Structure 1
Amino acid sequence: MNNTDTASTKTTQTSEDKLSWVYLINLVFYLIPIIVGNMQIWEIGVSLLTLIPFVYCYFWAYRSPRDKAHIPILAMIALGILITPINTGSLSLFTFAGFFIGFYYPLKTATFCFFALVAALGALNLYIGIEHYYFVTYGSLLIAGVGLFGIAERKRVEAKCREQQSQSEISQLAAMLERERIARDLHDIMGHNLSSISLKAELAQKLLDKNQQIQAQEQLKELNQIARESLSQIRQTVSGYKHKGLTSSVMLLCQTLRDKGLSVSLEGDVPQLNSKVETQIILSLTELCNNIIRHSQADLCSICFSESATDITLEVIDNGKLKQLTEGNGLNGIRERLAEFQGRLDYDLTQECRFSIILPKQGNLIE
């Protein structure tokens, strides 16, 4: 359980504890015979003292686990039986026991317990010698009514627990998806940037070996710039990836490929996409270009944009020697990105390496 769940549980428990004090207002019926009856002083004293262990048992029952709730419930019933000969307002105590019976036990068990409790009231009625059966009649109705309320309260609490569990699962799922997004974005971004850093460092070393210090310094400056941009992109990825736009990003990718020694051409007009789609396209193109640098052994590459009446197509084509492909995290990540927009990734390795991103023109795809 995370900190949010713990705080939510504590808040819920505090709210329920406040309600538990409110329910004790029903003890006013226990006090009526004391106020309006002709009870002796010692009877009043015993009646009031009985409230102390009863309230203790009440909160004991309120916070007990289900398998141990019978102990405080039986204690409340015992207190009610003992005080009844002195104060017939004890019916109030029996109704509290009825509530907890309905709250903790299934309907069949609770119904049996209700009948047993009514039978106990009947026995008390005979023992005390009350001429009329109002004690049993009122008691039965009160126990049944409050017991049903206990059943309803149990269902409410169970529904609330299920809702909290569902919210917790949703939060955990959202956190999991966010972690996957960050991991996927870092893989795409840093794979490309680290390749660029390695390339720049290699070029700088070769230039230094040839005593071409000015050119080497230029490469080191660019390496420093790439490192700074990498740090910025990592921060942006964690807080929600932000980019410089598809056109600018494509130009940077082309320059990176050229630095690697490839001849690069850019064909077609870069489409105007909304920021969310554009972000995913940039990351996808970055992954495809990174794969060319690492795996293709190509010296020619084209990035092509085209549109039809129904689709926008982005193609990355190279003359690499790749004849078969085992999809890894990179390509799987691209498919996951595109699936959100009903897009897809196709590739053809027959004559050249051709990777195609197809986006349907629907929804809020275009800016």
Structure 2
Amino acid sequence: MFNFMSFGENIGIDLGTATVLVYIKGQGIVIREPSVVAIDKDTNTILAVGEEARRMLGRTPGNIVAIRPLREGVISNYEVTEKMLQYFIEKAMGKRSFVKPTIAVCVPSSVTEVEKRAVEDATRQAGARRVHIIEEPIAAAIGSGIDISRACGSMVVDIGGGTTDIAVISLGGTVVSYSLKIAGDNFDDAIIRYIRKKHNVLIGERTAEDLKIKIGTAFERTIPVSMDVRGRNLITGLPKNFTVTSDEMLEALQESVAAIAEAVHGVLEKTPPELAADIYERGIVMTGGGSLLYGLDKLIQSRTGIHAMVAEDAVSCVAIGTGRYIEFISEGGDEEQKEKHGFDIGGLFRKKTES
């Protein structure tokens, strides 16, 4: 029998606030592009999507606007999100775009039913045959290689662009979870505010992101680093070149990273003692692009007293987990388990072991 599966009919999508990742069975992650869309306001037509649109941020004429249709992990502009999804799905499918794929999309653990329905409808309108929704902490845990089917507590901290999802997982389900609307975008905003206040200079989102990636820090560095930055002087109105240090970044990000560490501590306080003992032994796994901020793992470890580690390929963990989820769904499974957990996670790992 002809097997559409091998031709990528099933797709996993990490629909992130900052980045969209698309996973196809047998190929892995085939698309990794920013969640940005450039639109001509005069004609209401889409000019660019993804990386090409990101390069336009802050550099467009009056009639062109580069927007990010997702904010804090949920859809803020339904029509643009639908068009963006359609573009990425068609790009991933290539010449097989006539085949309507089954798609799994991840959402933050705190989304409402209305927000979840919006993601589902937008994905279906973008060309999906069937849509499955999975919570980000579960996808992140699967993608980072944790066997969450065991009766053993695992803690995942997924720091994306719009939200930080913290969850304690056991037996394939979430025991305690918390979603915080402080993540990568808030880091950028905090840097912009700090530079404006301290240096009287206005910098753009891209410059703030570069600062975050290159010299951003959540825990004091043993060897300070610095970076030259250009912005607009708010007093003279002229361009200005100046140097920013990692110590300044620590000061700028202090409030945001402290809120994340405090949220992790709060989830641990609500965790049943047996599972808390498991987490103490196994450590805290950090995923998502925000977890790559220098010293954030050290900060969480100092706040909780539990070893915190950043997962390998942390940025891709949610997309990989979503892809493995859709692989299992496509193979069929116990419907009662699917209803209970979204899918039979234990079955997924047993199938992987047997194959």
Q: Which TM-score band (shorter chain)?
A: under 0.3
The answer to which structure has the higher helix fraction is 1
The answer to which structure has the higher strand fraction is 2
- Could you say which structure has the greater relative contact order, defined with CA pairs below 8 angstroms and 6 or more residues apart? 2
